[in-house]
């Protein structure tokens, strides 16, 4: 008995950590399990019967796959926009000292320190007052706006940790500024840019609050579809998509780390 | 957070040493990104301030009438929404710290390199799964006939939480406890990642040194590990508290009408009642309160304890 108590005391932190991890992963497991459910009624909250119907017919629900593809389109475009604009800002802030730099840094920080609902309501009010119709464009504008700061933060950290002597060496070897940028600077900054882009994609794809205030009644993204379904009745296919997204994210991260490790081993 | 990044080597060319054409380069690089933020972030904020002082209706249009009483009406009608928002978020933030710290500590010091990556992936992966779907899963976990409620009932813990007002009627769903549980779950990764980043930088030899000087493990933690990890604690609490206080998804999906938070009020005024001045006033008050709290908190945490 005392040996068990001793072991528990020695591993208390790890045990607490494992419990915390279980708390984080539990809902994903529930989503996975209930993707094989055949619910008794419109809502998929209680276990009824095992079935693979949802997995064999993921698009069998009206409008769901359409909303999924709309979300993907918006996420891709928002990621491109935010990554290009954010990378430029990050280079300016990391590489130059100029008047107004502090103000620019503050402006970049502010959207990250603001609850989403505040940004959502204020941007929505602007669109309403300007009589700009809500839809695809207004969602895209909003998504680029809130993803931008995250890209700047990711890229800036990377650019600041880069050794400037590498670029000086390229110039000493008669590389033109454009060649230096394309062959030295950009590949060095790439991990930061990739991290920023990945974060943008995830934030945009999953955004609900800002989208709800800026989408209008007819443009339904995937999170908007799930929200609507949570009031009317949730098809099992929602769980299939949720599980597939989780698995895709895990596979992508594992592959990304594997590639990263191989690159490091080669270098 | 950026202070450590600033210390890394950077190429800084003083302005006066550069040819005049290159002096404008940073401004050209900033222009599109900052213009986007000014037009779609700063201007709406200003516009919102003006909207909150307007009166009128959607059919007749809104006029700026400096109608300050919108603020008093909104505050007196929704003061409990504000109280619940900040109360639930504060409890959720503390819970995130209590749950997240051991996990971050385990990843940083106890896990082998292989396990460290596996756990980090499991912490980050929920980011890529729909927030709403995962919150709905809590409806299943906490449901009235589910194993959680039955276990807590068997242990008579629900009577205890009923007594202090966290739950009602021997159930979890549609109670404050469910909303707090959802908020804690949803924002936990935002606590763990900054904590892990600040813990990972700690040189393990500091622990050995403390041990050599006869510090007990808990003293080592209190005097060495925790003070060094404070920047992570500050970043994590802000990243958890700010989004949690504006959230309305958890209150809507896991709570009942009596758990509604200020986000629910703003959403209702904006999307259902179409009372834009009230929605604007509420979100303006929320923004001001949060900025005020963050400033006070950063000053306290930043100057007195960090130095």
For A158-188, the pLDDT digits (tens) are 999 888 888 889 989 998 888 998 999 999 9
Q: State the Cα torsion A123-B268-B136-B166 to the nearest 10°.
A: 120
On chain A, the residues whose CB falls within 8 A of the CB of B134 are 27-28, 31, 242
pTM summary value: 0.88
Q: How far apart (Å, rounded) are the C-alpha atoms in residues B249 and B41?
A: 23
Q: How far apart (Å, rounded) are the C-alpha atoms in residues B185 and B73?
A: 34
Judged by CB atoms closer than 8 Å, whether chains meet at A89 and B247 is answered as: no
Instruction: Report, in this order, helix, strand and coil percent for chain A, each rounded to 5.
Output: 75, 0, 20
How does pLDDT run along chain A (267 residues), one tens digit per residue?
688 888 888 888 899 999 999 999 999 999 999 999 988 888 888 888 898 888 988 888 888 999 999 999 999 999 999 999 999 999 999 988 889 999 999 999 999 889 999 999 999 999 988 889 999 999 999 999 999 999 999 999 999 988 888 888 998 999 888 899 899 999 999 999 999 999 999 999 999 999 999 998 889 999 999 999 988 888 999 999 999 988 888 888 788 778 877 877 776
Judged by CB atoms closer than 8 Å, whether chains meet at A97 and B14 is answered as: yes
Min Cα distance A58 → chain B (Å) is 16
Instruction: Report the chain B residue with the minimal C-alpha distance to residue A24.
Output: B185
Min Cα distance A41 → chain B (Å) is 15
Contact A53, A119 (CB under 8 A): no
Average pLDDT of chain B is: 86
Q: What is the pLDDT of residue B271?
A: 92
- β-partners of residue B64 are B54
Over residues B242-261, the pLDDT tens digits come to 999 999 999 999 999 999 99
CATH no., domain B83-305: 1.10.3720.10
DSSP string of A79-148, one letter each residue: HHHHHHHHHHHHHHHHH---TTHHHHHHHHHGGGGS-HHHHHHHHHHHHHHTTPPPSHHHHHHHHHHHHH
CATH topology for A62-234?
MetI-like fold (1.10.3720)
Return the number of other C-beta atoms located less than 10 Å from residue A121's C-beta. Answer: 33
Supply the DSSP symbol for A62: T
User: CA angle at residue B209 from B206 to B214, to 5 degrees?
Assistant: 130
Min Cα distance B164 → chain A (Å) is 24
Q: What is the pLDDT of residue B8?
A: 45
Judged by CB atoms closer than 8 Å, whether chains meet at A95 and B26 is answered as: yes
CB pairs under 8 A between A and B: 280
Q: Is B60 helix (H, G, I), strand (E, B) or coil?
A: coil
Look-up of token digits 């994590």: B236
Instruction: Report the chain A residue with the minimal C-alpha distance to residue B282.
Output: A118
How does pLDDT run along chain B (307 residues), one tens digit per residue?
444 444 444 555 555 555 555 678 889 999 999 999 999 999 999 999 888 998 877 667 777 788 888 899 999 999 999 999 999 999 999 999 999 999 999 999 988 888 888 898 888 877 777 889 999 999 989 988 888 888 888 888 888 888 888 888 788 899 999 999 999 999 999 999 999 999 998 888 898 899 889 988 888 888 889 998 998 999 999 999 999 999 999 999 999 999 999 999 999 999 999 889 999 999 999 999 999 998 888 888 764 444 3
Judged by CB atoms closer than 8 Å, whether chains meet at A24 and B242 is answered as: no
Write the CA distances from B209 to A23, B109, B203, B219, B220, integer angstroms: 34, 16, 10, 12, 9
Structural tokens at position A14: 């790890």
Contact A78, A143 (CB under 8 A): yes
Return the number of other C-beta atoms located less than 10 Å from residue B149's C-beta. Answer: 19
Residue from A108, A125, A137 to probe the interface with B (highest B Cβ count within 10 Å): A125
Q: How far apart (Å, rounded) are the C-alpha atoms in residues A203 and A200?
A: 5
Q: What is the pLDDT of residue A1?
A: 65
- The answer to whether B267 contacts chain A (CB < 8 Å) is yes
Spatial neighbors of B307 by CB under 8 A, at least 6 apart, are none
Interface confidence, given as ipTM, is: 0.89
Judged by CB atoms closer than 8 Å, whether chains meet at A88 and B283 is answered as: no
Q: What is the pLDDT of residue B14?
A: 53
In chain B, where the domains are located: 83-305
Judged by CB atoms closer than 8 Å, whether chains meet at B47 and A129 is answered as: yes
Min Cα distance A113 → chain B (Å) is 7
Half-sphere exposure of residue B239, counting CA atoms within 13 Å on the CB side? 22
- The answer to whether B56 contacts chain A (CB < 8 Å) is no
Half-sphere exposure of residue A6, counting CA atoms within 13 Å on the CB side? 3
Min Cα distance B108 → chain A (Å) is 11
3-state secondary structure A226-256: HHHHHHHCCCCHHHHHHHHHHHHHHHHHHHH
Q: What is the pLDDT of residue B19?
A: 55
Q: How far apart (Å, rounded) are the C-alpha atoms in residues A131 and B97?
A: 44
Q: How far apart (Å, rounded) are the C-alpha atoms in residues B53 and B151?
A: 52
Q: What is the pLDDT of residue B35?
A: 97
Structural tokens at position A43: 């809502």
Instruction: Report the chain B residue with the minimal C-alpha distance to residue A112.
Output: B239
Q: What is the pLDDT of residue B169?
A: 79
Q: Which residue, among B3, B7, B30, B37, has the nearest Cα to A91 in the 3D structure? A: B30
Half-sphere exposure of residue A228, counting CA atoms within 13 Å on the CB side? 14
Half-sphere exposure of residue B75, counting CA atoms within 13 Å on the CB side? 10
User: CA angle at residue A161 from A155 to A164, to 5 degrees?
Assistant: 105
Contact A28, B126 (CB under 8 A): yes
On chain B, the residues whose CB falls within 8 A of the CB of A239 are 133
Judged by CB atoms closer than 8 Å, whether chains meet at B37 and A27 is answered as: no
Number of H helices, E strands in chain A: 13, 0
Judged by CB atoms closer than 8 Å, whether chains meet at A13 and B105 is answered as: yes
Q: How far apart (Å, rounded) are the C-alpha atoms in residues A20 and A14?
A: 10
- The answer to whether B263 contacts chain A (CB < 8 Å) is yes
Minimal Cβ distance to A121: which of B33, B143, B270: B270
In chain A, where the domains are located: 1-60+239-267, 62-234
Q: How far apart (Å, rounded) are the C-alpha atoms in residues B237 and B227?
A: 15
Minimal Cβ distance to B283: which of A92, A122, A246: A122
| Sign of the four-CA dihedral A159, B27, B6, B299 | negative
- The answer to whether B47 contacts chain A (CB < 8 Å) is yes
Q: How far apart (Å, rounded) are the C-alpha atoms in residues A103 and A109?
A: 10
Q: What is the pLDDT of residue A40?
A: 82
- The answer to whether B117 contacts chain A (CB < 8 Å) is yes
Q: How far apart (Å, rounded) are the C-alpha atoms in residues B279 and B30?
A: 32
Supply the DSSP symbol for B110: I
Q: How far apart (Å, rounded) are the C-alpha atoms in residues A164 and A96?
A: 13
On chain A, the residues whose CB falls within 8 A of the CB of B145 are 46
């Amino acid at each position: 008995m005392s040996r068990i108590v001793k072991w528990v005391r020695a591993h208390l932190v790890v045990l607490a950590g494992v419990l915390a991890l279980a708390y984080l992963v539990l809902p994903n497991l529930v989503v996975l399990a209930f993707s094989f459910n055949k619910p008794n009624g419109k809502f998929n909250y209680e276990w009824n019967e095992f079935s693979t119907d949802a997995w064999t017919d993921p698009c069998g629900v009206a409008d769901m796959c359409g909303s999924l593809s709309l979300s993907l389109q918006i996420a891709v475009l928002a990621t491109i926009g935010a990554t290009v604009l954010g990378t430029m800002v990050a280079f300016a802030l990391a590489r130059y000292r100029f008047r107004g730099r502090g103000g620019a840094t503050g402006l970049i920080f502010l959207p990250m320190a603001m609850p989403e609902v505040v940004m959502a309501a204020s941007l929505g009010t602007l669109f309403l007052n300007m009589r700009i119709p809500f839809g695809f464009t207004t969602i895209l504008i909003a998504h680029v706006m809130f993803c931008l700061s995250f890209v700047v933060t990711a890229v800036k950290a990377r650019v600041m940790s880069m050794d400037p002597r590498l670029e000086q060496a390229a110039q000493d070897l008669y590389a033109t500024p454009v060649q230096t940028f394309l062959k030295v600077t950009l590949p060095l900054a790439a991990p930061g840019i990739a991290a920023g882009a990945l974060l943008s994609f995830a934030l945009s794809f999953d955004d609900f609050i800002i989208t709800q205030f800026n989408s209008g009644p007819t443009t339904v993204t995937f999170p908007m579809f799930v929200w609507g379904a949570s009031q009317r009745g949730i098809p099992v296919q929602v769980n299939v998509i949720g599980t597939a997204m989780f698995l895709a994210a895990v596979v992508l991260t594992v592959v990304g780390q594997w590639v990263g490790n191989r690159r490091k081993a080669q270098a | 957070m950026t202070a450590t990044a600033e210390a890394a080597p950077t190429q800084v060319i003083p302005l006066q040493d550069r040819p005049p054409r290159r002096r404008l380069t940073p401004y050209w690089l900033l222009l599109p990104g900052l213009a986007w933020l000014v037009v779609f972030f700063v201007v709406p904020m200003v516009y919102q301030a003006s909207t909150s002082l307007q009166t009128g209706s959607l059919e007749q249009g809104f006029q700026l009438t400096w109608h300050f009483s919108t603020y008093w009406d909104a505050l007196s009608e929704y003061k409990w929404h504000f109280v619940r928002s900040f109360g639930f978020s504060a409890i959720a933030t503390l819970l995130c710290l209590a749950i997240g710290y051991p996990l971050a500590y385990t990843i940083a010091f106890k896990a082998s390199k292989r396990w460290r990556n596996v756990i980090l992936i499991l912490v980050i992966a929920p980011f890529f799964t729909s927030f709403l779907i995962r919150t709905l899963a809590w409806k299943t976990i906490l449901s009235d006939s589910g194993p959680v409620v039955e276990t807590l009932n068997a242990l008579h813990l629900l009577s205890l939480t009923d007594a202090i007002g966290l739950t009602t009627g021997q159930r979890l769903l549609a109670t404050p406890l469910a909303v707090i549980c959802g908020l804690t779950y949803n924002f936990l990764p935002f606590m763990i990642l900054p904590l892990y980043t600040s813990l990972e930088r700690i040189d393990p030899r500091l622990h050995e040194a403390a041990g050599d000087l006869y510090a007990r493990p808990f003293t080592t933690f209190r005097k060495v590990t925790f003070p060094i990890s404070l920047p992570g604690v500050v970043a994590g609490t802000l990243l958890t508290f700010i989004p949690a206080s504006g959230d309305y998804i958890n209150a809507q999906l896991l709570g009942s009408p009596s758990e509604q938070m200020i986000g629910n009020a703003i959403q209702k005024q904006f999307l259902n009642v179409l009372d834009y001045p009230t929605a604007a006033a509420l979100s303006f008050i929320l923004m001001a309160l949060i900025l005020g709290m963050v400033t006070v908190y950063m000053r306290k945490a930043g100057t007195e304890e960090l130095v």
